[in-house]
Structure formats: structure tokens, C-alpha cells
Amino acid sequence: MVTGQSLKVLHDMWIKNIIEPSHVISYLDKLDYTLGFITLEGISVISKDKKTQFSWKTPEKNNTQI
């Protein structure tokens, strides 16, 4: 099963160059999901039956300076 936490972990591993997008795709394929997108801002997956979609986005940073 894909959860927001697992997407965060996949995204973090990709950002840190621990895994490549092809590894993400292979992992998701085993769970019957496909990769919707993976960017610096987040990741999205879609179930192969197109009934379920999950996404995770990096938290917005507060750039306000005091």
C-alpha cells in the first residue's frame, strides 16, 4: 500500500540521489501503481486501475525574515 509517508521517503531518497526515478517506477510497479510525477516539489502516484491517486508535496517554507 502507498501512503503519504512512503511517498515522502521515496521522494527524499530520490532527492539525496540514493535511488533513481527508474527504481521508484520499479518499486511502484510492484505495488500496482504508476508514477504520475516526481519533481523537487513532490511526487504523485496513480493506481494501475486509475481509481486511486496519492501525492505528497514538500512543505512550503516561510521565507519571511524578521
pLDDT digits (tens, 9 = 90+) for 7-37: 899 999 999 999 998 999 999 999 999 999 9
Burial class of residue 45, CB neighbours in 10 A (0-12, 13-18, 19+)? buried
Read off the C-alpha cell for 42: 513532490
Nearest-angstrom CA–CA distance, 40 and 57: 9
What is the pLDDT averaged over residues 34-43? Answer: 92
Burial class of residue 62, CB neighbours in 10 A (0-12, 13-18, 19+)? exposed
Count of residues for the chain? 66
Average pLDDT value over all residues in the chain:
87
Whether the predicted pLDDT of 47 surpasses 60: yes
